[in-house]
Structure 1
Amino acid sequence: MALFGERQTFLGRLSPADRDALRALGAERAFPAGGPLLREGDGGSHVLVLLTGWSVVWVATERGGRVILGLRTVGELVGEMAALDPHHPRSATVSAIGPVRALSVPGDRFRRFIAQRPHVAALVMAQLADRLRGADHERLALASLTVLRRLCGRLVELADRTGRPAGPGAGGGPVTIRPPMAQSDLAAAIGATREAVAKALRLLREQGLVQTGPGTLVVLEPEPLRLLAEGLEPPERAH
């Protein structure tokens, strides 16, 4: 499951000269917490490179809900599909989680930028391929994995990508997920109902694997969660 798994960002892979050239093509914009960076169905073709903060990518469902496609953070590129194919509307909404700053580059300038730099165009294509593979994994998970396994996998990915040690020491200990995700967001991220996620979280809390509270999500035992995500039984622990 690779929904939240991108490690090397687009901006981080650019040379200093390419980063300076890209910055010269656009302007910085600030987005408030909860505000949209991009809207599904809009016709704009500009791209955004995230400079600070986190954002969530999602699509609306016919029943008025949403399905979360991924989290994006500093250095990542969003909106590139509309820039590469400006004749079609945006395929997803991107919303800020907390305040966000981003570099906004008009689509025509971005297309010229990558056309003049084949190595940068290859980075964009690699990012699109990574996200397509992630979408394939998600479809397989929805078809074959239980809610508990999907939730465990997502919590492990969030801990790996956004987690901070919840106490002294490093490696293997409790991890606080930042930004925390509400149960409704976790449900949207794994294609489950909020009720099913609440039930699975209750089971994980009873097993001493996670801790939840208002604005708090802590993975207490990352390794047993990894085993559960893989369909394996974690070892018995002394009580």
Structure 2
Amino acid sequence: MSLFGQDRSFLHALPAGDRRALLDEGAPRTYEPGEIMIRERDTSAYVLALLSGWAVVSVGTERGARLILALRGAGEVVGDLAAVDRRPRSATVTALGRVEAVAISGDRFRRFLAARPHATSLILRQLATRLRSADVERRSLASETVLQRLAARLVELAERAGRHAESGTVLELPLPQHDLAAAIGATREAVAKALRLLREQGVVRTAHRTVIVVDMPVLVLLAQGRAHPGAHSSDKQPPAV
């Protein structure tokens, strides 16, 4: 399962000239932390090209909770699905921190894609990646424990948005516990219990909106379902052959 998009973002995969042409089609926008950039079920069709910062993509559930589907950062576009199929928004996009973006109307975005088959191919590949990720996510929710799903999320966040420090790998994205819970389809209480277990075993350390991964090898094994709580790096067993 993955919160992030492809390794190479849509904007960065475009030739420089096409990238400039797309950004010239829109107007700059700035969003403050917690501000809604796109709202689920809205009928607007503009696309946002993210220049800096992080945004959270989420959907509401029938129980009134929120499920986080993805994190989107600089170089990525959000809102492209509604621009392409002209249907209501499928998710809400919220600024995690301060976000700088360029807003492009749906009509202009569609014209841009129509004139550039390469860009259309990139969008199709992006949509396919998101579909595959959703399939993996459904399987994960059905078959993995909260601890395993949380470990997988923390590994991914450490690899994609972590900063190496003397104490371990510091997760740079300020996700509170309720957002971590929304990112793995669990309750806040269940995530708090799993984090407490990881802290007690010396796998992670936590502070206000901060998680430091102290023992990455064990966290990876927990994410893979190949270790149990209380394991240490020296306890790792070689994979079966």
Q: Same fold (TM over 0.5)?
A: yes
Out of 174, 179, 189, the position equivalent to 2:173 is: 179
How far is the alpha carbon of 1:201 from its aligned partner? 0.5
Q: In structure 1, give the amino acid aligned to 2:198.
A: L
Q: Distance in 2 between matches of 1:21 and 1:166?
A: 40
Match of 1:199 in 2: 193
Q: Distance in 1 between matches of 2:115 and 2:92?
A: 29
Contact 1:57 1:72 survives alignment (8 Å): yes
CA RMSD, aligned part only?
1.3
Q: Distance in 2 between matches of 1:53 and 1:28?
A: 14
Match of 2:163 in 1: 164
Q: Distance in 1 between matches of 2:116 and 2:233?
A: 54
Contact 2:10 2:75 survives alignment (8 Å): yes
How far is the alpha carbon of 1:5 from its aligned partner? 5.2
Q: Distance in 2 between matches of 1:116 and 1:236?
A: 53
Contact 1:5 1:161 survives alignment (8 Å): no
Q: In structure 2, give the amino acid aligned to 1:207.
A: Q
Q: In structure 2, give the amino acid aligned to 1:156.
A: V
Contact 1:209 1:225 survives alignment (8 Å): yes
How far is the alpha carbon of 1:60 from its aligned partner? 1.0
How far is the alpha carbon of 1:222 from its aligned partner? 1.5
Q: TM-score, normalised by structure 2?
A: 0.93
Q: CA 1:5 to 1:212, structure 2 compared with 1: closer, same or farther past 3 Å?
A: farther
Q: Distance in 2 between matches of 1:152 and 1:215?
A: 17
How far is the alpha carbon of 1:166 from its aligned partner? 2.2
Instruction: Give the secondary structure class of the aligned counterpart of 1:98.
Output: coil
Instruction: Give the secondary structure class of the aligned counterpart of 2:226.
Output: coil
Match of 1:121 in 2: 120
Instruction: Give the secondary structure class of the aligned counterpart of 2:95.
Output: strand
Contact 1:149 1:230 survives alignment (8 Å): yes
CA offset digits 1:135-193 (Å, max 9, x no partner): 000000000001110000000001111111123xxxxx711111121111111100111
Q: In structure 1, give the amino acid aligned to 2:43.
A: G
Match of 1:44 in 2: 44
Unaligned runs of 5+ in 1: 168-172
Match of 1:101 in 2: 100
Contact 1:3 1:138 survives alignment (8 Å): no
Contact 1:79 1:90 survives alignment (8 Å): yes
Instruction: Give the secondary structure class of the aligned counterpart of 2:45.
Output: coil
How far is the alpha carbon of 1:64 from its aligned partner? 1.9
Map of 1:1-239 to 2, 5 A cutoff?
Answer: 1-4=1-4, 6-86=6-86, 88-167=87-166, 174-233=168-227, 234-235=231-232, 237=234
Q: Distance in 2 between matches of 1:90 and 1:117?
A: 24
How far is the alpha carbon of 1:237 from its aligned partner? 3.9
CA offset digits 1:53-77 (Å, max 9, x no partner): 0000001122221000010000011
How far is the alpha carbon of 1:236 from its aligned partner? 5.5
Q: Distance in 2 between matches of 1:20 and 1:166?
A: 36
How far is the alpha carbon of 1:81 from its aligned partner? 0.4
Q: Share of identical aligned residues, percent?
A: 55
Q: Distance in 2 between matches of 1:60 and 1:119?
A: 34
Q: CA 1:166 to 1:180, structure 2 compared with 1: closer, same or farther past 3 Å?
A: farther
Contact 1:3 1:131 survives alignment (8 Å): no
Instruction: Give the secondary structure class of the aligned counterpart of 1:23.
Output: helix
Q: Distance in 1 between matches of 2:33 and 2:232?
A: 41
Q: CA 1:149 to 1:5, structure 2 compared with 1: closer, same or farther past 3 Å?
A: farther
Q: TM-score, normalised by structure 1?
A: 0.94
Q: In structure 2, give the amino acid aligned to 1:62.
A: E
Unaligned runs of 5+ in 2: 236-241
How far is the alpha carbon of 1:227 from its aligned partner? 0.8
Q: In structure 1, give the amino acid aligned to 2:52.
A: T
Q: Distance in 1 between matches of 2:163 and 2:197?
A: 23
Instruction: Give the secondary structure class of the aligned counterpart of 1:57.
Output: strand
